[in-house]
Structure 1
């Protein structure tokens, strides 16, 4: 009888332990913010590729007077070379084989290879970005980003269709994030001036991919992301994140401040996160 009671006690104890461990794992997954930070990093990296190539093209093609030129990304350790003077026009942004500290505070190395089929302002122009041994803060970037000038929308703003298929290999063997996105980028301010610092874009659309742990996710922009080119991160806007097997999250970039602070809401609980 004692032996039967012992077995029953052992089984109940094991069941409780498994249940408790399962609950803890589930709770950890539901409140984990690190995956969102990694995805936000991937989003920022692919978003900034266009800003870098636009700056490089404008600088190399003398689109702006040297007296008014101020580089937001390209520091002296980056070189830009144009391969041809006729469209389609190709050029290379080379950050070297060692980390190059750029003006936005990020370290880059490797190359961004860019092809323009026409001028940036011209409707129908397609800009294709590819990467060669390209790293941002030691995170390796692979894939393709294609930007198409769609002309003016109903409000008279120039807008772009943006398609990205990419992979981020996180630094320090931190795993891999796949990134696929279909976005619309509207040029809402600054298109009528000769400086890039006052340019503002609003971005909407969808993204999906695979996390480090192999699970899938989807991201839908609920409020357009506002990108002010003088700021490293989005200054406002929100994204609904739907991770596989977990609660829906809401990532909010704030109310317009140029900082690295965002909030992540999970099951009604708000977490403050600091963007990389």
Structure 2
């Protein structure tokens, strides 16, 4: 469920050198290849938020609030994680304690889901907050609200409005990324897990202080099997990032479960594979 936030500035930061050069020389000059070394930092934020979508779905299902009943006591999340469901208070707390690792992802702290009712009912919502929550050393803050705007039980499909307010990720060195997002996610459940088709917009400030906006130009496709295998970027789709007067596009491919993407920027195209 992407939960997400998929609107991190994967490429915007990498074009600082390019942007300064083009402002001084003009677009008719020979443009240098952008420095893409910072893409890895922003990819970490995507990993955090895609992982959150998976945690949300599993926590709801384990609490009897989803299409099916599952358990969190498996390696796809963390074998030592605990789930407390306060039915009277309509609150679910997923706790990782001082830290546990699964599929290369180390989580600690708490994720708290407060819900209005069964998530199968249109109009119901889940608000996610955090207490000391970290993923691979990144501290996560903010409020994420998911609202059921439509459901097709026959086809196991659900449409969600997903908003993040006051989103904040802090790196171990104290640098901070802040962001807001406004998305629509169509979730389809199948025998091999869920698939999410995501559209929407976002904006924020990178950890180096660069402001940006983002818009999904072709729906992003995210699958549960890829997320749980440690590949937390979309399998397919495109995002346009705007920074200053420039627009850069990230293309996630045609459906393969990998870490390859193509970046198109004024003056060139760059293919890369995220570590």
List gaps (5 residues or longer) in structure 1. 1-21
Q: Aligned with 2:193: secondary structure?
A: coil
Q: Aligned with 1:248: secondary structure?
A: strand
Q: Counterpart of 2:17?
A: none
1:165-176 superposed matches below 5 A: 165=165, 166-173=167-174, 175-176=175-176
Q: Counterpart of 1:89?
A: 90
Q: 1:52 to 1:178 in 2, by over 3 A?
A: same
Shift of 1:177: 0.7
Q: 1:72 to 1:229 in 2, by over 3 A?
A: farther
1:6-155 superposed matches below 5 A: 23=21, 31-61=34-64, 63-64=68-69, 71=74, 73-84=76-87, 86=88, 89-97=90-98, 99-102=99-102, 104-152=103-151
Q: Counterpart of 1:236?
A: 236
Higher relative contact order (CA 8 A, sep 6+): 2
Contact kept, 8 Å, 2:120 with 2:151, in 1: the verdict is no
Count of aligned pairs between the two proteins: 240
Q: Counterpart of 1:18?
A: none
Shift of 1:259: 1.3
Contact kept, 8 Å, 1:39 with 1:177, in 2: the verdict is no
Q: Which runs of 4+ in 1 moved over 6 A?
A: 24-30
Contact kept, 8 Å, 2:61 with 2:70, in 1: the verdict is no
Shift of 1:105: 2.6
**TM-score between both structures, scaled by the size of structure 1:** 0.76
Shift of 1:118: 1.4
Contact kept, 8 Å, 1:242 with 1:249, in 2: the verdict is yes
Please say if 1:207 is aligned against 2:212: no
Q: 1:220 to 1:105 in 2, by over 3 A?
A: same
Q: 1:266 to 1:144 in 2, by over 3 A?
A: same
Q: Counterpart of 2:186?
A: 186
List gaps (5 residues or longer) in structure 2. 1-19, 26-30
Q: Counterpart of 2:4?
A: none
Q: Aligned with 1:251: secondary structure?
A: strand
Looking at structure 2, the residues matched to 58 and 227 of structure 1 have their Cα atoms a distance apart, in angstroms, of: 19
Q: Aligned with 1:113: secondary structure?
A: strand
More helix by share: 1
Shift of 1:207: 0.6
Of residues 170, 182, 193, the one that matches 1:198 is 193
**TM-score between both structures, scaled by the size of structure 2:** 0.77
Deviates more, 1:117-126 or 1:159-168: 117-126
Q: Aligned with 1:57: secondary structure?
A: helix
Contact kept, 8 Å, 1:223 with 1:238, in 2: the verdict is yes
